Structure formats: structure tokens, C-alpha cells
Amino acid sequence: MKNLALFCLLLLSTAIMAQENSDMEKNGKKTEEEWKQVLSPEQYYVLREKGTDRPGNGGYTKHFEKGTYHCAACDAQLFESGSKYESHCGWPSFDDAIEGSVAYVSDRSHGMVRTEIICTNCDGHLGHIFDDGPKDTTGKRYCVNTTSIRFEKSEQ
């Protein structure tokens, strides 16, 4: 009887773990080892270790084609090109994110108080949000690391 109970418990725990792993993959969640295998070292540093690109690094700062900016880790849509503007801060800047695509986390690192922005799908670090954006729109500046995003041109 004990053996049967142990067997059932083992079977149940294996099924639960398999379901959790399936859910993690579906939602863009991976283990850190899996992220290291699919991201470049620079992407891993920025997206998983909350690193920062050097100002002007990568080419999206002055990029203004029509399309959508996606998370470089999980491909979730984050920003529409219509919300991008030149803030002269050295990083790609947007005044709004696609609804539900970005989460906001208090960040008190480096002796500063800021709000970190992360991808809601994979928890990848995107950058920070500030209240010095265009006053005629949202007043927000989503200051985004080029390494954390990729651009997909619209067909129009």
C-alpha cells in the first residue's frame, strides 16, 4: 500500500512539474540557463541582469520607421513606432507602451529612485520610465535599452 501511495505521489508531482514547465515556456519564462543559451551575452546582461547599453548604442535611438518594437527575448510587442520620439538622452524613447506589455517596478539601485520597466511576458529588463516626456502627449519617457528590443517594420 505504501508503494502504491509513493508511486501515485511521484506520478502526481511529475505531472505538476511538467505542467509548470509547459506554462513557463508558453509565457516566455525560462530558467536562467535557458536564457543564457538563447540570448547573446549582451542581451543576457541587459535583459536578465538589468544592465544598461551605452548611450547611442545599437542604432534605434535615431530610428523612425513605421512598425512595432518587440522584446528581444520573447518577441512580445512592446511599443508602436508612433509613440517613439527623439529625447536626446542617448537611448530610444517612447511616450507610451502597448497596453499591458510593460510592468513597472520600483528601482532603488545605484543610489537613485527610479521606476524600472520590464516585459510582462518574460520579465526582461527594458529600461526605466521618467516623467520628463512630451507634455503634449503622456508626459512620460520610456527610456529603453536598444539591446532589449528589436524592430519589425510594418507592411504599410
> What is the set of active-site residues?
143
Q: Is 75 exposed, middle or buried (0-12, 13-18, 19+ CB in 10 A)?
A: middle
Which residue, 70, 73, 104, 68, is CA-closest to 83?
68
Helix (H) or strand (E) segment spanning residue 13: helix 2-26
CA dihedral over 103, 44, 29, 70, signed as positive or negative: positive
Q: Hey, what's the cell of 31? A: 530558467
d(CA 93, CA 83): 8
CA 103, distance to chain mean position in Å, is 9
